[in-house]
Chain A
Amino acid sequence: MNGSSDKTRPLLRFEGVVKRFGDVPAVDRVSLDIHEGEFFALLGPSGCGKTTLLRMLAGFEQLTEGHILLDGQDIGDVPPHRRPVNMMFQSYALFPHLTVAGNVAFGLKQEALPKSEIESRVSAMLALVRLEGYGGRKPQQLSGGQRQRVALARALVKRPRVLLLDEPLSALDRKLREETRFELVELQQRLGLTFIIVTHDQHEAMIMADRIGVMNRGQLVQVGPPSEVYEQPNSRWVAGFIGDINLIEGRVAATGPQGTEIKSETAGRLHAAQPADVSLGTSVWLAVRPEKVSIAAHAPEGSQTNVFAGKVADIGYLGNSSLYKVKLDNGLVMTAVVANRTRLLERPIGRYDRVWLSFPSDAGVVLTR
């Protein structure tokens, strides 16, 4: 099979995929293209349908509606054992009655390859995941991190067109998880494979993936590179799910090439650099990331747009940065995160101090949903 000949055709295409269990849609009208060599992350809260989407791709769930195309071919009727995709299960699903080498060789034996080839591929794969010398052990005799690598090796040795990873790091402790993130990315780039990873951890998705698909209640709500999803969320829900966000409600007073003017009953005049594609008077939210908000002990001079006065309600020291929760005079609570660059502020801002928050016009995103 040679699917890469046509550069413009996606390796994998979901077309209006729906999966209902009873009447409840677990996956709702998902359409998505994934390209050869991509590291794609499906991100969403628990229960949003990520695993179900992967299982449909692997062939364990039938689609209620829609199509899944691999290399342009509809794979809806292909049984799991004939699909050129492999899955790394969330529980790893290692065979307890087989050794590590037996687990890794299992998939190759199904292809009835010559014994010598199976042996050489298994040992090469064990070396790749740094498990040389562990081939004779049973999975029960391994640590969590080693089991994870066996599961990875077992799926990779089949040289799948797409490798599916269902929460591959969730069973590891934090330190190991952080190391393994980079190892996975490195492995994917070295082998030039297509990975689809499922995770509920936005840091994980942002660090590893080339593109992220954010899911909520079965729907794919936004797809894009990590920076785009973070900087240009398309809804309040996505903005809040990918990191912290300040939301200020208001109505559009003017919009055009010079940006969007928002009038808020509580927060005064706001300005965002981007034009908004809405009619005047529409109710919108201006979303600002806390690290884009600056905090000062004096009222800024000049323009009073995007400026709010308030009192520090709480301070959180995060080591490399500090987090200020400020109760504004209009009743809103806004958060500002400031990097701790210098060791001593000349006059540190304390609790209950009167402060002014401000952010530049290009910091905010206008959201209509």
Chain B
Amino acid sequence: MIKAIPFALLLLLTSWQVTAMADAADSVKSPLGYGSKNYVWGKMTREQADILRLTGDAKRGKEAFRGCRGCHKADAAGIVDGTYPRLTGQHPSVVIKQVTEVRAGVRINPKMDPFAAEHAVSKQEIADISVYLATLETTRENGKGPDDLSAKGKAVYKKHHCAKCHGDNGEGEEAKAFPAVAAQHYGYLLREMRHIKDGTRGNSHPEMVKVIKPLTYNDLEAVADYLSRLPDYRLATKGDKK
């Protein structure tokens, strides 16, 4: 009898996990995330603050990143259809914010969960991985949109003040944990913007939701295409003295 109970529980948990995963592709709202009563963007979890105080080491990070390579790939370039985002050159503060907020249940990511959870990766390892990823060059082609909509996308990006946070070259900002978005896979960018628009990206910046809400699906496609065709921001800003 005693043995039978945990087994039943396990079954329940497993089926819950599978449903959650299927749904995630099409938006699950986090009870703690954007839109919930006490949501404050950028309110750091204890864990996030702890990790930001640690000194990361790229060599150790490379080793710890092994457990991530199965999805994000050995070169951390993700996959072209955007199911798995590119992580090369992402700001350490952003990597730390995203992983810890997935762990805290603010951003929902059941696919990644068991491989990035507290029991799988330590705080120090997250600090190490974040430093390691920032050192990686992007060598593989990223996924682009089916048609070149970059002119329209650029106009939307300008008009709706995206550059205020993501920068003129899609470079984001390390100090504020604004993600770099240039040269990311089209499929990933489009999916995230859809989730930001419908309020299901748990850790959305409320100011960003305001500017993305009025955009049409065609606008989002155009912006995603534009950003996917920008070069890695580290190339774009090299020698940029302005």
Asked if A and B bind, the verdict is no
